[in-house]
Amino acid sequence: MKSFLLSIVLVNSLLSFDYKLQPEEVSKDVYCFFGLPEVMDEHNNGNMSNSCFVNLGNSYLVIDSGPTYQYAAQAYKKMKNLKNLPVSYVVDTHIHDDHWLGNSYYVTLGAKIIGSKAFKELPILDQTRMQRRISPEAYKGTTQIFPTIFVNKEKVLEINGKKVYIKSVNHKAHTNSDLYVYIPSEKIVFVGDLVFNQRLPSLRDGDINGWLEALKQIKKMSVTYIVGGHGTNIDKKAVDFTYNYLKTLKDEVKKRLEDGEDIADVVNDVKMKKYKDIPFYDSIQRQNVETTYRMLEWEDE
Closest approach, Cβ 96 to Zn ion, in A, equals 3
Closest approach, Cβ 289 to Zn ion, in A, equals 19
Q: Residue 188 pairs with which residues in a beta bridge? A: 183, 225
Q: What span, in angstroms and rounded, lies between the C-alpha atoms of 132 and 260?
A: 41
Closest approach, Cβ 199 to Zn ion, in A, equals 11
Nearest to Zn ion of 157, 211 (CB atom): 211
Nearest to Zn ion of 29, 97 (CB atom): 97
Q: Is residue 240 within 8 Å of 197, Cβ to Cβ?
A: no
Query: Closest by alpha carbon to 199, among 169, 223, 228, 175?
Result: 228
Q: Residue 53 pairs with which residues in a beta bridge? A: 31, 62
Alpha-carbon separation of residue 274 from 68, 162, 270, 271, 277 (angstroms) = 34, 42, 11, 9, 8
Closest approach, Cβ 230 to Zn ion, in A, equals 8
| E strand intervals along the chain | 24-27, 30-33, 51-55, 60-63, 87-91, 112-116, 149-151, 154-159, 162-168, 179-183, 188-196, 225-230
Neighbours of 267 (CB within 10 A): 19
Nearest to Zn ion of 114, 257 (CB atom): 114
Closest approach, Cβ 94 to Zn ion, in A, equals 6
Nearest to Zn ion of 96, 172 (CB atom): 96
Q: What span, in angstroms and rounded, lies between the C-alpha atoms of 9 and 16?
A: 11
Nearest to Zn ion of 96, 256 (CB atom): 96
Helix (H) / strand (E) element for 160: namely none
Q: What span, in angstroms and rounded, lies between the C-alpha atoms of 253 and 269?
A: 9
Closest approach, Cβ 174 to Zn ion, in A, equals 6
Q: What span, in angstroms and rounded, lies between the C-alpha atoms of 289 and 296?
A: 11
Nearest to Zn ion of 205, 240 (CB atom): 205
Nearest to Zn ion of 23, 229 (CB atom): 229
Closest approach, Cβ 206 to Zn ion, in A, equals 9
Per CB under 5 A, residues contacting Zn ion are 96, 193
